[in-house]
Amino acid sequence: MSNADVHILEYEGDDKGGASDEHSAKLGTYILGVGLAVLLTAASFWIAKTDLIYGPGIPVALATLAIAQMGIHLVFFLHLTTAPDNTNNVLALAFGLMVVCLVVFGSVWIMAHLNHNLMPMSHLMQMQR
C-alpha closest to that of 33 among 2, 69, 1: 69
Same domain, 13 and 55: yes
Would you put residue 42 in left (φ > 0), alpha (ψ -120 to 50) or beta? alpha
Is pLDDT of 18 > 90? no
Domain count, the chain: 2
Longest dimension (CA), the chain: 102
Query: Does residue 13 surpass a pLDDT of 50?
Result: no
Contact 52, 99 (CB under 8 A): no
Whole-model pTM: value is 0.58
Range of the domain at 48: 1-65
User: Of 65, 94, 116, which closes a domain?
Assistant: 65
Query: pLDDT band at residue 6, thresholds of 50, 70 and 90?
Result: very low
| Span 68-76, average pLDDT | 89
